[in-house]
Amino acid sequence: MVCQEETPKDFYKKNDGGIRLTLKITPILAETVSLWVERVEPVVARVKAILMDHDSLDEQHITRFA
């Protein structure tokens, strides 16, 4: 992966407030997919377990983000 500094020109804001990547930065980020998969998989597994065990959905599993 080529290391570079991202600038505001690498992103743009959509009318609905979302942020999009430019075509220039997309392939660079795509090279990091394996790193993200390793970090996201445990979170996905935990969320899946909570949702599959719907009886356990109580206050201890619900965190409100401000």
Mean pLDDT per block of 10 residues along the chain (66 residues) reads 64 87 84 90 89 65 52
How many structural domains does the chain have? 1
**Angle, CA 46 vertex, CA 44 and CA 48 arms, to 5°:** 65
3-state SS assignment for residue 9:
helix
Q: What is the pLDDT of residue 1?
A: 44
pLDDT at position 28 is 84
Domain encompassing residue 53: 32-57
First to last CA, the chain: 35
Is residue 19 included in any domain, yes or no?
no
Alpha-carbon distance of 66 to 50, in angstroms, equals 21
The first and second tokens of residue 30, run together, are 């795509």
Confidence at residue 16, expressed as pLDDT on a 0 to 100 scale: 92
In a domain, 12, yes or no: no
Q: Is residue 63 part of a domain?
A: no
In a domain, 21, yes or no: no
Residues with Cβ within 8 Å of residue 22, at least 6 apart in sequence:
9, 10, 11, 12
The model's pTM is 0.43
